Amino acid sequence: MQLSTLFLGGRYDTMTSYFSIAFLVIFLPVCLILYSLLPQKLRKYFLLVASYGFFWLVSGKLVIYLLLTTLSIHYFGLWLDRIHRARNEAVKGVEKAERKEIKKRFLKQSRWVLAFAIVLHIGVLLTLKYSPFFTTNLNAVFTMLKLPLQLQVPSYLMPIGISFFTLQAVSYLIDVYRETIPADDNIFRLGLFMSFFPQIVEGPICRYDQTAQQLWEVKGIEYHNLSLGLQRVAFGLMKKLVIADRLNPLVKEVFANYADYEGGVIALASLCYTIQLYMDFSGTMDAVMGIGQIFGVSMPENFKRPFFSKTISEFWMRWHISLGAWFKDYIFYPVTMSKPMKKLTTAARKKLGNHFGPLLAGAVALFLVWLCNGLWHGAGWNYIFFGMYHFGFILLGNIAAPAVKWLHRKCHINPEWFGYRVFQIIRTGILVVIGEMFFRASTLQAGFAMLRQMVTNFRFATLNGDLLKQMGVDWKDMGIVLVTILIIFAISVWNEKGVIVREALAKKPVVVRWAVLYALILFIVIFGAYGAGYIPVDPIYANF
């Protein structure tokens, strides 16, 4: 009998969510107990086995992708390391001019190795995730050109989290190539870095120097970490169960049948989707961070209160931070710092000045970043549009910066004035909601049709109890969602002021502390959208 059948009744996907009963009540407690019982030196190996076990329970035999990726980067990493060592040997005692030549030769070698490794890993991702999209579009072009040629659209099973662990693998290789980290000769440590089960489904996309050594040096579970970690998991559970899952029927209905709804309702559904996406993803991240903390592992935060952003650019520095940072470090900077781009910047600076000159090369890099960002989220024109939409606003923000400053001066607007900041936050929020609408829309055409409805028919005339019922919710659902959002908003304001609520709470008397925790748990138990009548919503980002 397969272990997955024993636990999950043969349904591999049952445990995809860190909030599933299978994970929270069976897998995690069993892991914690066994982990605690094991001697210190075996704990890291146990985490590795548990991580592969988790992956196998979710993706079955597709675990081979993770294994091969790990073996491959281990090999390529050591190869790069050998080239670096050979170079160091070769330049010893050599004249400066010759040293430069030798270095250049070795650099070329390591560049080839890196390029080959990246093509291999990104190639697998492209094949699995994007080949159906590219083939479909190619067939459409053939049809348009009236060519008697149609390619068969491939279909592949994808392992969970491939978009996340591939980026993690590539970042490891580039960091070794750049010599910011040494290649890891310990396959088990590298394996644990790649597979750590709390982060394998939805990230964060960690760098080797952020987590590998921490994971390899894990210690026993400490009461303080256990307590704070579980609190964070509970907070994530509240976001997911009370808000994200409760809004799901409304979002699903309106996005599926947008033609039946007036613009105001579509706008409301788009807002609800943005909230749902944030609560789902950041709630999952809370669970991931919380579980990490239980094991004493600190991972990079993926969210920093994005809805307090005053510009789109700032929004993306606060939303899915690890992905943004990955694109910045491995696409944006290498492109802008490349020789052709440097030349372009120098030339443009002469003609366009110091503000607009560097923007040209920056725009090229930014375009690539947002094209990749859109495609990373999915193979579809709506995702590409989503990327271009943000590229457009960020570029516009950069171009218009001097003009905006001038306007502030002329109109005597203090950009730090509270009212103006609120205006900026709301403006950014509206742009984000529209972007997310395209992101969620079934097709790009559907996204435009929804936008048209929003612009030409922005009314709430039909919005009443009956309409909400048709959308699978009622006023009470909306009311409890609003209350929970206000709670999260209050906590976010504290966080924004630098207060870490869990740690502040830990300093309070036990009666206050426990009262707050009981209130949180009972709030989730009562108001969570789970059980009969609710369909558990798959974690949204796990599909990307």
Partner 1 sequence: MKKAWKNILTTILFIGILIALLWILSVIFQPRNNTSAEGIQDEQANGILAEPENTIDAVILGDSETYCGYIPLELWRTYGITTYVCGTTQQKMYYTCDFLRKTFETQRPKVVFLETNAFFRDYGYAQIITNTLEDKLPIFRYHDRWKTIQTQDLIDDVEYTNIERDKGYHYYTKADPADTNGYMQENSGKISIPKKNLRYIREIQKYCEENDARLVLISTPSTKNWNYKKHNSVEELAKELGVEYIDLNLQSDQVAIDWNTDSRDKGDHLNYNGAMKVTDYVGKYLKETELFEDKRENPDYADWNTQLEAFDQYKAEQQEQ
Q: Which contiguous run of DSSP H or E holds residue 212?
A: helix 208-216
From the CB of 464, what's the least distance to partner 1, in Å? 17
Please answer whether residues 199 and 301 qualify as being in contact, where contact means their C-beta atoms are separated by less than 8 angstroms.
no
- CA dihedral defined by 89, 93, 97, 103, rounded to 10 degrees? 10
| Nearer Cβ to partner 1 (3/401) | 3
| Nearer Cβ to partner 1 (30/259) | 30
| Nearer Cβ to partner 1 (6/145) | 6
- Asked if 223 touches partner 1 (CB under 8 A), the answer is yes
What six digits make up the tokens of 430?
């509206």
| Nearer Cβ to partner 1 (108/476) | 476
| Nearer Cβ to partner 1 (21/461) | 21
From the CB of 525, what's the least distance to partner 1, in Å? 6
| Nearer Cβ to partner 1 (60/429) | 60
Q: Using CB under 8 A, count the residues that bind partner 1.
A: 29
- Asked if 34 touches partner 1 (CB under 8 A), the answer is no
Enumerate residues 6+ apart whose C-beta is below 8 A from 315: 306, 309, 428, 432
- Asked if 469 touches partner 1 (CB under 8 A), the answer is no
Enumerate residues 6+ apart whose C-beta is below 8 A from 409: none
Q: Which one of 33, 407, 430, 522 is in contact with partner 1 (CB under 8 A)?
A: 522
Segment interacting with partner 1 (CB under 8 A) among 346-354, 362-370, 446-454, 514-522: 514-522
Q: Which one of 17, 18, 22, 365 is in contact with partner 1 (CB under 8 A)?
A: 22
- Asked if 7 touches partner 1 (CB under 8 A), the answer is yes
Q: Where are the alpha helices (DSSP H) in 239-332?
A: 245-256, 263-294, 312-318, 321-327
Enumerate residues 6+ apart whose C-beta is below 8 A from 350: 357
Q: Which of 280, 331, 325 is nearest to 300 (CA)?
A: 325
Segment interacting with partner 1 (CB under 8 A) among 168-176, 280-288, 330-338, 526-534: 526-534
- Asked if 25 touches partner 1 (CB under 8 A), the answer is yes
Rounded Cα gap, residues 92 and 102, in angstroms: 11
Q: Which one of 474, 504, 506, 535 is in contact with partner 1 (CB under 8 A)?
A: 474
- Asked if 5 touches partner 1 (CB under 8 A), the answer is yes
Q: Which one of 2, 10, 337, 405 is in contact with partner 1 (CB under 8 A)?
A: 10
Q: Which of 394, 395, 424 is nearest to 408 (CA)?
A: 424
Enumerate residues 6+ apart whose C-beta is below 8 A from 139: 150, 151, 153
- Asked if 505 touches partner 1 (CB under 8 A), the answer is no
Distances in Å between the Cα of 174 and the Cα atoms of 195, 331, 430, 469 are 19, 11, 37, 52
Q: Say which amino acid occupies 16.
A: T
Q: Which one of 85, 105, 427, 476 is in contact with partner 1 (CB under 8 A)?
A: 476
Q: Which one of 39, 93, 498, 531 is in contact with partner 1 (CB under 8 A)?
A: 531
Q: Say which amino acid occupies 369.
A: V
Please answer whether residues 161 and 201 qualify as being in contact, where contact means their C-beta atoms are separated by less than 8 angstroms.
yes
Segment interacting with partner 1 (CB under 8 A) among 18-26, 64-72, 204-212, 401-409: 18-26
Q: What is the 3-state secondary structure (H, E, C) of 171-198?
A: HHHHHHHCCCCCCCCCHHHHHHHHHCCC
- Asked if 214 touches partner 1 (CB under 8 A), the answer is no
- Asked if 438 touches partner 1 (CB under 8 A), the answer is no
Segment interacting with partner 1 (CB under 8 A) among 38-46, 340-348, 464-472, 531-539: 531-539
Q: Which one of 3, 11, 143, 342 is in contact with partner 1 (CB under 8 A)?
A: 11
| Nearer Cβ to partner 1 (39/531) | 531
Helix axes 245-256, 475-496, angle to 10 degrees: 120
Q: Say which amino acid occupies 222.
A: E
Half-sphere exposure of 106 (CA within 13 A, CB side): 21
Segment interacting with partner 1 (CB under 8 A) among 10-18, 88-96, 274-282, 421-429: 10-18
| Nearer Cβ to partner 1 (77/528) | 528
Distance of CA 185 to the CA centre of its chain: 29
- Asked if 259 touches partner 1 (CB under 8 A), the answer is no
Residues that bind partner 1 in the complex, under the rule CB under 8 A: 5-11, 14, 20-22, 25-26, 223, 474, 476, 514, 517-518, 521-522, 525-528, 530-533
